[in-house]
Amino acid sequence: MGDSSRLLLAAKFAARMHHGQFRKGADAEPYIVHPLEVARLLSTVGGVLDPDVLIAAILHDTIEDTDTTESDISEMFGSRVCSIVVEVTDDKSLPKERRKELQEEHAPHLSHEAKQLKMCDKISNISDILENPPKDWPLERMIEYVDWGERVFAGLRGANEDLERHFDELVERARRELGA
Write out the catalytic residue numbers: 64-65
Looking at beta carbons only, is 6 or 18 nearer to Zn ion?
18
Looking at beta carbons only, is 52 or 61 nearer to Zn ion?
61
* Interface contacts to Zn ion, rule CB under 5 A: 61, 121
Q: How many Å apart are CA 81 and CA 159, to the nearest integer?
A: 18
Burial grade of 169 (CB within 10 A; 0-12, 13-18, 19 or more): exposed
Whole-number minimum distance, CB 41 to Zn ion, in Å?
Answer: 11
Looking at beta carbons only, is 52 or 128 nearer to Zn ion?
128
Whole-number minimum distance, CB 155 to Zn ion, in Å?
Answer: 17
Whole-number minimum distance, CB 179 to Zn ion, in Å?
Answer: 27
Whole-number minimum distance, CB 127 to Zn ion, in Å?
Answer: 12
Looking at beta carbons only, is 66 or 179 nearer to Zn ion?
66
Strand partners, 27: none
Sign of the C-alpha dihedral computed for residues 87, 91, 96 and 97 taken in this order: negative
CA distances from residue 24 to 110, 134, 135 in whole angstroms, order as listed: 27, 5, 8
Of residues 108, 126, 156, the one with CA closest to residue 37: 126
